[in-house]
Each structure stands twice: as C-alpha cells, then as structure tokens.
Amino acid sequence: MDGSGGKKISQDSNWRKGSFLHPFCHLVIRAVRVDSPPCQNSTQSLAELLTKYRLKLSLSKTTLAAKLGVSLGTLKNWERGWTQPNRRFWLSIRLLTAKH
C-alpha cells in the first residue's frame, strides 16, 4: 500500500500540457518557457511581426537577416509565412522585436 487508500497514483497523472497540478490543492501553476515561439501569445503571425518590425525601423531584408544571423532567403521565407524559424532563433527574434 502507498498510504492513499490502496490507489497507486502515478506522477504522470499530475501533469497537464504546460501546467502541474498539486495533488492536494486546486492550485494550477503555469509557465512560459524562455525558448517558446516568439508569437505564441500574440494575435499576429511571425511573418507580420518580422515585416512590421523591419519596416518600422527602415531596415533592409539583408540587414535584418544579418542581425538575426540567417540568410536572406531564410528571412524571406519567414516573412512570407512559408517556413517557421528553428527553436535556436526564437530567443533572438523575441529579444530583437521586444526592444521596439
């Protein structure tokens, strides 16, 4: 017996996607990962965010691509919404766009 009235409670049963439920209270703890996608909590898409940021600062696509450390073709694909950045670029995009 494990002291819970004969029931075996698995650790995994306390986990929900993005939160942890404490077994003896109604407290739900939610967290946002530091490396979560840049537009996760935003209504605009990443393509719109990058384009608006670039135009707001009057940057060329080449300059913004160099600041992000990607090729011009990669930035064009992101701005068109054809592809999404890898996880390793999420933090740099978030930091760059959060400044302005």
Tokens 């064009």, residue located:
76
- Chain length of the chain: 100
Q: pLDDT (tens digit, 9 = 90+) per residue, 3-51?
A: 555 554 455 555 555 555 556 666 666 665 655 666 665 667 888 889 9
CB 86 within 8 A of CB 38: no
Q: pLDDT (tens digit, 9 = 90+) per residue, 48-74?
A: 889 988 999 999 999 999 999 999 999
> Between residues 92 and 74, which one has the greater pLDDT?
74
Residue type, 35: D
Q: State the CATH class of domain 46-98.
A: mainly alpha
Residue among 43, 59, 42 at smallest CA distance from 51: 59
pLDDT value at residue 72: 94
pLDDT value at residue 91: 83
Residue-range domain boundaries for the chain: 46-98
The total of other beta-carbon atoms located within 10 Å of residue 64's CB is: 20
